[in-house]
Amino acid sequence: MSLALVHSRARAGVHAPPVRVEVHLSGGLPCTQIVGLPEAAVRESRDRVRAAILCAQFEFPARRITINLAPADLPKEGGRFDLPIALGILAASGQIDRQALAGHEFIGELALTGELRGVDGALPAALAAAREQRTLVVAPDNADEAALARQATVKVARTLLEVCAALSGEKALPDAQVATTEPVPLPDLADVRGHAQARRALEITAAGGHHLLLVGSPGCGKTLLASRLPGILPEASEAEALETAAVASAGRHGVDPARWRQRPYRAPHHTASAVALVGGGSLPRPGEVSLAHNGVLFLDELPEWKRQALEVLREPLESGVVTISRAARSTEFPACFQLVAAMNPCPCGWAGDRSGRCRCSGDAIARYRARISGPLLDRIDLQLQVPRLAPAELHGDAPPGESSATVRERVAQARIRQLQRAGKPNARLDPGQTLRDCTLARPDQAMLEQAMERLQLSARSMHRILRVARTIADLAGGAPIERAHLAEAIGYRQLDRSPTDRAL
């Protein structure tokens, strides 16, 4: 029977759905036809495969070749099916044993010389192959990435000829190995001089997984503070790191072996579009919010962003996922990130500064801050004014603050308390869990109600205040929420005050 079946994997977001490559040889005029919803790059694989087979000293059958990529309704893209197509043709023509293909999966693009080139999405393919208990064969360019899936059996081949030799039992393929690289050191919080309140807000943000907005004059240290947040976050578990790496694998730049265990830190420019933030394209790829999954997304100069780009953040901030719908299909990417944003207090940037240099009118300040919608601002847990430091505080003789390692220990302990209590960070508690875990004494409840009335807070803002207060209590040892914890949490809603109070 001139029929061979080869297992492979497609790319669909952060998933790797199975594809069965079916190759059939029949009589008739010699031709090669690929069916199964292939795009242009897949259709062109017949020419690459033909040249690779001939360069490997095999015979390309002069028969009618029909190649079906099943399931037929799943779009196929890229050169990832070159290797399984070539193996299917060789097995269907009897040049290699078709039984040896069982228990294996293959992905890889073929050069005309028969060499294997890497493709994107190797890590999701390795994780999926492990669940099916099959051995995955990849190109050397994908070896480091695929080897991150420790439960998977991943083999590395440089050429088509090496794969065929291994299937014939002549020479086994080597196992994929994780590259031994030194982890990249993260910026240390000890570099931040002064800013005691901002450092405290950063610690609360890290402990509870909250979102943070820093408001201050140019050069006061907002970006410096934001860049130190990844260094004080709790260490990512292996499951979280693999999930984050799978998102990066689906992107255009792949996984960095030196950083795969570190929480990501993304800082796109304010000219980025809405599609760049949430992802998209005819073949959807992850955007910045997904590439920051389990990490930090820093948006500097927040009012300078296009309104449409900012508004697309509202749903991911609540749900933690991004769904990109197209006419042909819908793709879902994880997007559970911490938003840290920075902005100036007014168009000139100096409102509230002790130098008194700001000459912006109240209307100009209100219009500037109105570029950030109320619903988006409502979703940011901590909103903090960052003052400009005096020259004496910036002097090299000034004592440094606590290091990131010291702060991270307290953050890790607080996070453990949250996971033991609810199984998730405080920022991700749903309304029912918030009311259950963030109970207040009657006088403190009255104080919260007074603050809601005075600041005209929404129910969402109230829940966020309670979650921040719960995090502050967890940092204090996990005690019940006290009035001091609640007062501090309310104090971080600084942009909920009237425009006149915020300006001066």
Residue 31 covered by a domain:
yes
- Residue 49 sits at the vertex; the CA angle it makes with 47 and 54, to the nearest 5 degrees, is 100
Residue 462 covered by a domain:
no
Range of the domain at 406: 189-424
Residue 487 covered by a domain:
no
CA distances (Å), origin 154, targets 175, 258, 303: 6, 20, 47
Shared domain check, 146 and 33: yes
Which of 379, 396, 424 marks a domain boundary? 424
Residue 463 covered by a domain:
no
Residue 86 covered by a domain:
yes
Shared domain check, 339 and 276: yes
Which of 167, 199, 229 marks a domain boundary? 167
Shared domain check, 419 and 386: yes
Residue 104 covered by a domain:
yes
Shared domain check, 211 and 104: no
CATH number of the structural domain spanning residue 303: 3.40.50.300
Which of 391, 424, 457 marks a domain boundary? 424
Nearest to 141, CA basis, from 119, 121, 174: 119
Q: What is the pLDDT of residue 498?
A: 45
Q: What is the pLDDT of residue 328?
A: 66
Shared domain check, 250 and 146: no
Under 8 Å between Cβ of 32 and 82 = no
Average pLDDT across each block of 10 residues of the chain; the chain has 504 residues. List them in order: 92 92 94 94 95 95 95 92 97 94 96 95 95 96 92 96 94 89 85 90 96 93 94 93 92 81 94 91 87 96 93 92 81 94 93 86 91 91 90 69 93 95 94 93 94 88 95 92 95 68 38
Shared domain check, 320 and 224: yes
Q: What is the pLDDT of residue 449?
A: 93
The DSSP line for 223-274 is: HHHHHTHHHHSPPPPHHHHHHHHHHHHHSSS---TTTTTSPPEE---TT--H
Shared domain check, 249 and 314: yes
Under 8 Å between Cβ of 67 and 35 = yes
Percentage of the residues of the chain whose pLDDT score is greater than 70? 97
Residue 232 covered by a domain:
yes
Number of residues that make up the chain: 504
Measured between alpha carbons, how far is 100 from 344 in angstroms, rounded to an integer? 64
Q: What is the pLDDT of residue 397?
A: 64
Under 8 Å between Cβ of 47 and 109 = no
Query: pLDDT tens for residues 329-373?
Result: 788 899 999 999 999 999 998 988 888 889 899 899 999 999 999
Shared domain check, 255 and 128: no
Q: What is the pLDDT of residue 501?
A: 42
Shared domain check, 199 and 152: no
Shared domain check, 125 and 12: yes
CATH number of the structural domain spanning residue 57: 3.30.230.10
Residue 502 covered by a domain:
no
Shared domain check, 110 and 241: no
Q: What is the pLDDT of residue 502?
A: 42
If DSSP codes are grouped into helix, strand and coil, which group holds residue 328? Answer: coil
List of residues 6+ apart from 11 with CB closer than 8 A: 77, 78, 80, 119, 120, 121, 124, 125, 250
Shared domain check, 277 and 162: no
Number of domains in the chain: 2
Under 8 Å between Cβ of 483 and 326 = no
